[in-house]
Chain A
Amino acid sequence: MKPIYMDYAATTPVRSEVRDAMLPMLEERFGNPSSTHRWGREARAILEHARARLAAVLGVSPIEIIFTRGGTEADNLALLGRARTSPDAPVVCSAIEHKAILATARAAEAGGTELHVLPVDRSGTVDHSTLPDILRREPSVVSVMWANNEVGAIQPVLEIATQCADAGVAFHTDAVQALGKIRIRLDELPVSLLSISAHKIGGPKGVGALFIRRGTEISPMIFGGGHERGLRAGTEDVAGAVGFATAIELAEREREQTVVRLGALRDRLEAALRERVPDLVVNAESAERLPTILNVTVPGADSEALLLTLDLQGIAVSSGSACSSGAVEPSHVLTSMGISPDMAGPSLRFSLGHETTDDEISHVISVFPQIVERLREMSAR
């Protein structure tokens, strides 16, 4: 059996269409968009065309799109960029944010900014009942992710965005995982800021974008030659921008089909694993979830050993989040959901993507229960 990659929420391979679209920019069309000469003008035109393509998919104006060097940078710019505009205002985020937001919020807090963390319920959905009170404190930004990267729970962004808009407070959403799986039309949703990343949808790594709705004031984080409307200095990654535009168009074009196909595969995997491992717990089960993510807890089986054993058998999944050393840490998402550490510990995430096949799902279904059984026997010894 060929190795099976089932960790698409971590990253995805670059689609061949994306690669083909990028190559000319690495070779003959290599110009710097800031240059006045023909190479520069050509690169500028390509960059702006990519921006427009991205904007069109999201239903926004090209001027509202800032290219960044990834989702984390977009999140940093959104949160700190807003916090800097009103240093005395609090910032708000949810307990299950990606570390790109959580750690940034903690950094702001360490710098003296007041931080409110919205709790989540057991299903993995953000509880925004306290938001009206918090909004009266006029926070500089409220950040709640669109869909959670670990358990796949989709968050009530429309309600939260509307609450924030009504209060005149900037609302940011990290849509890195939602992109390509959920319809994102910003002409229909009152968000002020939205982060996306190319490499989760078949684009290149190191390319992201921040949507900044016109009229939303933001301070830059990286200073230099005034690129990206002065909000993100540094010579633009034209190839990356073209790759991102191509990937997002592909993802959007295929979205409905992808959701149906991968959703069916995920459901089959989920049902089969439940049947064969009867006490297996599906995390965020009662939430509306991304069709591509299955997060399970296997009581009595060491998740780290499970992860490594699967890896040794050629199956790539993930567990919790990896720290800088690569060691597995307990998931803050699951513990925030009120799941006890002994159940949050042994959790695994399967995430499906464009290249996932029916055979791969069947293979995982056939080997997973045996591995679980063996590890449980050994732990019980």
Chain B
Amino acid sequence: MSKRTVLVAMSGGVDSSVAAALLVEQGHQVIGATMKTFCYSEVEGPSQTCCGLEGIMDARRVADRLGIPHYVYDVERDFTRDVIDDFVGEYAAGRTPNPCVRCNGNTKFRDLLKRGALLGCDAIATGHYARMATDETGAPILLRGVDQNKDQAYFLWGLPPELLPQLMFPLGALTKPEVRERARALGLSTAEKPESQEICFVPTGNYVDVLESRLGPEHAALSPGKLVSASGEAVGEHEGYARYTVGQRKGIGGGHGQRLYVLGTRPAMQEVVVGTWEDLHRSEILVDELNWLGPQPAIGSEVQVQIRHRASAAEAEIAANDNGSIKLELREPQRAVAPGQSAVLFRGDVVLGGGRIAA
């Protein structure tokens, strides 16, 4: 492997710590960077995720241990505009956004690459569980990480394809237990840090807190409205449509004669649509805001689609393609297809691209 000058994003978690360590071990010239994405002083309570100030301190300690320079970049303004505002707007529009996808696609990688280039770096790296490889033509391709439990390819479909040649994912061939083992062996202070599953700007773990503070508790998305059946018949009350996610059962109340699930929302009417377990299954998905990491698959192509993080991919066919959106026909109906979430298209382990579930 040729030696590169790499800017590695270090959140302070064990994954990015080991990613940086592996790059150093491989003989690359490595510079660590931590993105400060929001103002910690405005966050009440102890910070729980690895994007907090504590994360910066941990990242700094690891960089020091590895003997590499480490810098903190304040990206708060761009992050707020591109990720948090979008997150709030999507919920207000009745969708279930995926801020990590948004961040990776719009903010993090572009920004890292730009900043890295200014420092003379020719590659950027993160601690994502994904792999870079080349196809038979030599073009770069993005693959799932080998650890099926940790694979994060789902979050990376939105990357600008021109960035691929400069990406490195040092953890792609490792499993999480192996990563922890490496961290211990290297004596990294972050070796035993717990997993952070929360969204970095939702320190309380409840996204509704962010919506309440940014939209105001009186906003239509957070105000009570009608629970309706698919045919429009009122069957109860809800607490604000943005508090509901497709597939959710909680918060609907009982006494409906059968178990009901959220099927979707109608923001204009402030309604939450509910239905049965059977109603929750769909065999067609409309996907917009597409991004392709390689050639766009043709209509009629057989692909696998993943509609949630950690969900298994389902066989599908690209049935139609127009106006920047595609229709996918699923071999087997899928449960809880949530508008706003990502639909990521794979062929085996290769990420073809993806988009936002429109309907």
Q: How far is the CA of A1 from the CA of B238 in the complex (A)?
A: 69
Q: How many residues of A contact B (CB 8 A)?
A: 17
Given A325-B56, A326-B60, decide whether A305 and B72 contact each other with a Cβ distance below 8 A: no
Which residues does chain B contribute within 8 Å of A375, judged by CB atoms?
118
Asked if A305 and B36 sit within 8 Å, CB to CB, the answer is: no
Does B118 lie within 8 Å of A302, measured CB to CB? yes
Please tell me if the beta carbons of B36 and A327 are within 8 angstroms of each other in the complex.
Answer: yes
Q: Determine the distance from Cα of A31 to Cα of B71 in the docked complex, in whole angstroms.
A: 42
A327 contacts which chain B residues (CB < 8 A)? Answer: 36, 72-74
Contact A308 B71 (CB under 8 A): yes
A107 to B72, CA, bound (A): 27
Q: Give chain B's interface secondary structure class.
A: mixed
Q: For B121, give the chain A residue with the smallest CB separation.
A: A312
Q: Does A378 have its Cβ within 8 Å of any Cβ on chain B?
A: yes
CB distance from B310 to the nearest CB of A (A): 31
Knowing A302-B118, A309-B119, A375-B118, the reply to whether A326 touches B69 (Cβ < 8 A) is no
Mark contacts of B68-80 with chain A using CB atoms, 8 A cut-off: 1 yes-contact digit, 0 otherwise. Answer: 0101111000000
Pick the contact of A326 from B56, B115, B117, B119 — CB < 8 Å? B56
Contact of B118 among A305, A311, A325, A328 (CB under 8 A): A305
Contact among A312, A323, A328 for B119, CB-based, below 8 A:
A312
For residue B71, which residue of chain A has the nearest CB?
A: A308
Complex: how many Å from CA A375 to CA B31? 18
The yes or no answer to B307 lying at the interface (CB within 8 A) is: no
Cα A325 to Cα B71 in complex, Å, equals 10
Q: Which of A302, A311, A324, A326 has the most C-beta atoms of chain B within 10 angstroms of its own C-beta?
A: A326
Q: How many residues of B contact A (CB 8 A)?
A: 17
By beta carbon, the residue of chain A nearest B5 is A312
| B window 34-57: CB within 8 A of A | 34, 36, 40, 53, 56
Q: Within 8 Å of chain B (Cβ to Cβ): is A329?
A: yes
Instruction: Judge whether B300 is part of the interface by a CB distance below 8 angstroms.
Output: no
Cβ distance B50 to chain A, nearest Cβ, rounded Å: 14
Contact in complex: A325, B69 (CB < 8 Å):
no
How many inter-chain contacts with C-beta < 8 Å in the A-B complex?
Answer: 41
CB distance from A92 to the nearest CB of B (A): 26
Taking a contact as CB atoms under 8 Å apart, the answer to whether B115 and A305 are in contact is yes
Asked, given contacts A325-B53, A326-B56, whether A309 binds B74 with beta carbons under 8 Å apart, the answer is: no
* Closest chain B residue, CB of each to CB of A305: B118
Answer yes or no: B205 CB below 8 A from chain A CBs.
no
> Are B119 and A325 closer than 8 Å at their CB atoms?
no
| Distance between B271 CB and nearest chain A CB, rounded to angstroms | 43
Closest chain A residue to B118 by CB distance?
A305
Nearest A residue to B70 via CB reads A326
Q: How far is the CA of A324 from the CA of B34 in the complex (A)?
A: 13
Chain B residues with CB below 8 A from A323, complex form: 74
| Cα separation A305 to B40 with both chains bound (whole Å) | 24
State whether A329 touches B118 (Cβ < 8 A). no
Whether B119 pairs with A378 at a CB distance below 8 angstroms is no
A329–B69 touching, CB < 8 Å: no
**Interface residue B120 (Cβ < 8 Å from any Cβ of A):** yes
Q: Decide if A378 touches B118 in the complex (CB within 8 Å).
A: yes
Q: Are B120 and A325 closer than 8 Å at their CB atoms? A: no
Does A285 make an interface contact (CB < 8 A)? no
Instruction: Knowing A309-B119, A324-B53 are in contact, say whether A304-B69 is a contact too (CB < 8 A).
Output: no
A24 CB, nearest partner CB in chain B, Å? 33
A285 to B342, CA, bound (A): 55
- Given the known interface contacts A325-B74, A328-B74, the answer about A312 and B69 at a Cβ–Cβ threshold of 8 Å is yes
B69 partner residues in chain A, CB cutoff 8 A: 308, 311-312
Taken together as a complex, chains A and B put the C-alpha atoms of A324 and B36 apart, in Å, by 11
User: CB-CB < 8 A to A305: which residues of B?
Assistant: 115, 118-119
- Whether A309 pairs with B120 at a CB distance below 8 angstroms is yes
B115 surroundings in chain A (CB, below 8 A): 305
What is the 8 Å Cβ interface bit string for chain A, positions 36-66, against chain B (1 contact, 0 not)? 0000000000000000000000000000000
Looking at the complex, which one of B31, B40, B56, B117 makes contact with A312 (CB distance below 8 Å)?
B31
**A327 CA to B71 CA in the complex, in Å?**
7
Residues from chain B with a CB closer than 8 A to the CB of A312 are 31, 69, 119-120
- Complex formed: what's the CA distance from A328 to B76 in Å? 12
- Give the docked Cα–Cα distance between A4 and B69 (Å): 16
**Which of A308, A311, A325, A378 contacts B36, CB < 8 Å?**
A325
Assembly CA distance A228 to B36 (angstroms): 41
Contacting B at CB under 8 A, from A274-325, are 302, 304-305, 308-309, 311-312, 323-325
- The smallest beta-carbon distance between A22 and chain B, in angstroms, is 27
Q: Which residue of A lies closest to B73 (CB)?
A: A327
B6: min CB distance to chain A, Å = 13
Q: Are A304 and B73 touching (Cβ within 8 A)? A: yes
Q: Is the CB of A309 within 8 A of B72?
A: no
Contact of A329 among B40, B71, B74, B119 (CB under 8 A): B74
A312–B116 Cα gap in the complex (Å)?
Answer: 12
Complex Cα gap A72–B115 (Å): 34
CB of B157, distance to nearest CB on chain A (Å): 27
A323 CB → nearest B CB, Å = 8
Contact pattern, B 10-40, Cβ under 8 Å of A = 1, otherwise 0: 0000000000000000000001001010001
Asked if A326 and B118 sit within 8 Å, CB to CB, the answer is no
Hey, which chain A residues are within 8 Å of B56, CB to CB? 325-326
Q: A324-B53, A325-B53 are in contact. Are A309 and B31 (CB under 8 A)?
A: no
Query: Which residues of chain B from 113 to 142 have a CB within 8 Å of any chain A CB?
Result: 115, 117-120
Residues of B within 8 A of A326 (CB): 56, 60, 71-72
Q: Note all chain A residues with C-beta closer than 8 A to B31.
A: 312
Inside 8 A of B53's CB, which chain A residues have their CB? 324-325
List 5 tightest A-B contacts by C-beta distance, closest first.
A327-B74, A305-B118, A326-B72, A327-B72, A325-B36
List, sorted by A's number, 10 A–B pairs whose CB atoms are closer than 8 Å.
A304-B73, A305-B118, A308-B71, A308-B119, A324-B40, A325-B36, A325-B53, A325-B74, A326-B60, A378-B118
Question: Measuring CB to CB, which residues of chain A are less than 8 angstroms from any residue of chain B?
Answer: 302, 304-305, 308-309, 311-312, 323-329, 375, 378-379
Q: A312-B119, A328-B74, A379-B118 are in contact. List 11 more A-B contacts (CB 8 A).
A: A302-B118, A305-B115, A305-B118, A308-B69, A309-B120, A323-B74, A325-B40, A325-B56, A326-B72, A327-B74, A329-B74
Interface residues of B (CB under 8 A from A): 31, 34, 36, 40, 53, 56, 60, 69, 71-74, 115, 117-120
